[in-house]
Amino acid sequence: MPYIALNECDVEVTSFQCLDEFKREGTEYQSFRCAFCEVPYIAKAIYNETSVAKAPHFAVARGRSHIGDCNGEVLLVVAPVEGGGIGAKVVKREHEVPEVLVVKPPTRSVVSGPKGGPATPLSEAEIKRRRMNAGKKYGVSRFTSSLLASFIEAKAHLVSAAFAKAKEQGLTGAKEKAFLNSYLEKYPLQLFEQKLNYSTAFWRANYVRAGQAPRIFQATNGNVMISAQNLTINSAFLQRSTAKSPSTVEATATALETNGKKITVGATAVVLFDLSGVDRAELPRAHKSLLKKLAETQAADRTVSWSAYGVMTVRDGLNCIELLSLDHLHIKT
């Protein structure tokens, strides 16, 4: 599916970039053209018809077609094989979910004809040149996003789909859990340079994770504290009540001995973000909305479930995740 286009300002954009900008700022471009042959496009799964399981892309407007051999795709691209090697075709999966967490991309401009299309029809040679250059610049089309929320929504969709299939097969207990993990492992999730999947990329924040590699940490029952200087969300570890569990639980990462067996006890997980140098008036719409929701949650003395991308460090017995961007925080009230 075509994912590169020119907007009405003759700026080269990707469908993934457009979706991020719409979610972050509410930016909605009015028209698109093929970046190669400049036939009119319509946006699909970007604005009014967004879908968790459908990758954003462009399609040729009704009654129009690409010029010559152009199909809206780049040239000279070697597709990756599922195992990470090179050679065969791109693996098709049942659900089209974001695969790569990236930094917020800069706007890229190109030289084109007058706004709205070229003054004269483009030659086959020029169209081919553009497609080849795009192949070198972008490579294989992979659904990317700079917003953590996109991946959280995608995982929720995949988990729901997996449970539905497990129910159809009559799986319960350990078999259902194993099926869920194997289902999520089929969907790659790359956190910047780390190649993981929708199972291994996530970690329960109340448990210490050894090493410094970032993950998407998640916790529930988060108490929000927001001020002009800082944002903090604390999620105390909640021990499930079972016959083999200790009667009292300390919020420290340790192992207790119960009936001769060691059980792991979690720690309080803390999300930290420094607001001291932030000009809130200049924040993107999505960040303003997030801070407003957090402030309302604090005022109402409610808790949140949260997901945060970052590195975990243990400080004074607390599992701390320090955010570098509000793009890397997602909450559910």
User: For every one of its 333 residues, what pLDDT tens digit does the chain have, with 9 covering 90 and above?
Assistant: 899 999 998 999 999 999 999 999 999 999 999 999 999 999 999 997 666 778 999 999 888 999 999 999 999 655 444 444 333 344 668 899 999 999 986 644 444 444 556 657 899 999 999 999 999 888 878 899 999 999 999 999 999 999 999 999 999 999 999 999 999 999 999 999 999 999 999 999 999 987 789 999 999 999 999 999 999 999 999 875 443 333 333 333 344 444 444 445 689 999 999 999 899 999 999 999 999 999 999 999 999 999 999 999 999 999 999 999 999 999 999
Geometric angle at alpha carbon 146, from 267 and 183, rounded to 5°: 65
Would you state the pLDDT for residue 50?
62
Q: In whole angstroms, what is the distance from residue 38 CA to residue 70 CA?
A: 10
Residue 121 DSSP symbol: P
Q: Where are the domains positioned within the chain? A: 4-146, 202-332
Would you state the pLDDT for residue 1?
85
Structure tokens at 69: 């051999």
Distance (Å) of CA 319 to CA 107, 207, 208: 37, 8, 7
What is the DSSP annotation of 197-220? ETTTTEEETTS---SS--EEEEEE
Residues 6+ apart with CB under 8 A from 201: 151, 189, 191, 194, 215, 216
Structure tokens at 266: 């979690």
- CATH T-level fold of 202-332: OB fold (Dihydrolipoamide Acetyltransferase, E2P) (2.40.50)
Nearest one of 93, 85, 108 to 5, comparing CA atoms: 108
Geometric angle at alpha carbon 94, from 55 and 64, rounded to 5°: 45
Would you state the pLDDT for residue 77?
53
Structure tokens at 79: 């597709």
Residue 182 DSSP symbol: H
Distance (Å) of CA 99 to CA 90, 164, 182: 13, 22, 17
Give the count of alpha carbons within 13 A of 290, CB side only.
23
Does residue 56 sit in helix, strand or coil? coil
Give the count of alpha carbons within 13 A of 242, CB side only.
8
The pTM score is: 0.83
123-131 long-range contacts (CB < 8 A, ≥24 apart) are 124/67, 124/68, 124/69, 127/36, 127/37, 127/67, 127/68, 127/69, 127/70, 128/69, 128/75, 130/35, 130/36, 131/36, 131/70, 131/73, 131/74, 131/75
